[in-house]
Amino acid sequence: MDRIRIVGGAELNGAIPISGAKNAALPLMIASLLTDETLQLHNVPRLADVAQLLRILGNHGVDHGVAGKRPGQTAVTGQSVRLRARHIIDTTAPYDLVSKMRASFWVIAPLLARMGEARVSLPGGCAIGTRPVDLLLMALERLGATIDIEGGYAIARAPKGLKGNDIVFPKVTVGGTHTALMAAVLADGTTVIENAAREPEVADLALCLNTMGARITGAGTSRIVVDGVARLHGAEHNVLPDRIETGTYAMAVAMTGGDVMLEGARPDLLQDALDTLVQVGAEISSTNEGIRVRRNGHGISAVDVTTEPFPGFPTDLQAQFMALMTKAKGTSRIRETIFENRFMHVQELARLGARIRLDGDLAYVDGVERLTGAPVMATDLRASVSLVIAALAAEGETTVNRVYHLDRGFEALELKLGQCGANIERISHS
């Protein structure tokens, strides 16, 4: 199993190209099931989760091809993927495939919308709380599907097709909104989704679906209206840049000091997090190239944050921000309101010398003068990269084990950081 070895203390200087967003690419790939024509996606990141979803889609009969290398392409340039679900030959998504990645459960919506039935294993995935699928199934039931849970599978049926209806989510759910969108586009009549997730990745999916012939308005707001159409056609779409990767590298620069241009990053996708970093002491400026992050030698200020749905501070940046706060002057309070188990990185950060106290959904981080390197273990995707950020500023050597979590969500992490001066390398074990 691969490990990442980091010797801390180096500033980051240079440029980091921001990859396409994993959280946008996955639902966009799943949307290929809605049409028998080709969907071509550009700027798709090279990640373990993307490869896994290609296997899942292939099981349903989706042909896929990845474009070969182009002039000027590097290992950190996004790939182009062609997907065509000419014939869906299997409406079952089996446990051995779905259990490896939660987002794959979303195939239930396009399979049901196009084929009138779907049998999808209840998901596994990250160990950060229960993340139930009840709201996703509720949305499908509102559109006329019957749902049965049998033997660990959700079995959805709508033999006469789905019917437009009002869907009111009791709480904001990104997965529920994705599911409702993909089911409603082929439903008969109009669907109104209330309390919809406003995340940029939802708006990106709606933009792509509209390019395929869907009629969606209001995506990016809490009220989305979908006028169902009889069929969708093929399209070409660019995946938007990854706001979580952008925020992660911005926090790494705030942690180590230095000056880095995050190429292709869009500030409108994570303004709350950028505003927070300015309070911490980073200088942030937007240019045509992307976002420039600098921190001079004045140290890191303690700032309190609460995770919230978009446009608030993202839960997917909470672990990284906690790592940054371990070296702040004073005490910061971090409240996690989205996922109940999302403080699993605390014990590992403590191994590097961090001082963190937990009280329910609150973490109190007392900044320390110095962190020292140690062997640590990744527990989930965002927790693992928080350990990398802390290690970049720790004295001595840190080894991060179980980096397969990182490979699920960060494209060429050690290459991107290494090009900016970090002393980082991957140690592979055959």
CA distance 235 to 35: 10
Which residues partner with 426 through β-bridges? 4
The end-to-end CA distance of the chain, in Å, is 7
Q: Is the peptide bond before 311 cis (omega within 30 degrees of 0)?
A: yes
Q: What's the token pair of residue 277?
A: 């970093």
Give the closest residue to 399 by CA, choosing from 361, 373, 363: 373
The verdict on whether residue 135 carries a ligand-binding annotation is yes
φ/ψ of residue 154, rounded to 5: -95, 120
Name the residue with tokens 């990442």.
4
Give the closest residue to 315 by CA, choosing from 304, 325, 305, 326: 305
CA distance 122 to 33: 19
Per the CB < 8 A criterion, the answer to whether 64 and 58 are in contact is yes
Q: Classify strands 223-227 and 258-263 as parallel, antiparallel or unpaired.
A: unpaired
Q: Which of 39, 126, 207, 400 is catalytic?
A: 126
CA distance 29 to 176: 17
Q: Is 126 a catalytic residue?
A: yes
Q: Classify strands 362-366 and 305-306 as parallel, antiparallel or unpaired.
A: unpaired
Say whether 29 sits in a helix, a strand or coil: helix
The verdict on whether residue 86 carries a ligand-binding annotation is no
The verdict on whether residue 188 carries a ligand-binding annotation is no
What region does 423 belong to: left with phi over 0, alpha with psi -120 to 50, or beta?
A: beta
Q: In 10 A of CB 50, how many CB atoms? A: 22
Non-local CB neighbours of 360 within 8 Å, separated by 6+ positions: none
φ/ψ of residue 4, rounded to 5: -120, 130
3-state helix/strand/coil string of 100-158: CCHHHHHHHHHHHHHHCEEEEECCCCCCCCCCCCHHHHHHHHHCCCEEEEECCEEEEEC
The verdict on whether residue 23 carries a ligand-binding annotation is yes
CA distance 407 to 120: 25
CA distance 87 to 32: 11
The verdict on whether residue 102 carries a ligand-binding annotation is yes
The verdict on whether residue 170 carries a ligand-binding annotation is no
Active site positions, annotated: 126
Q: Which residues are annotated as a binding site for phosphoenolpyruvate?
A: 22-23
Q: Which residues are annotated as a binding site for UDP-N-acetyl-alpha-D-glucosamine?
A: 102, 131-135, 316, 338
Q: Which residues are annotated as a binding site?
A: 22-23, 102, 131-135, 316, 338
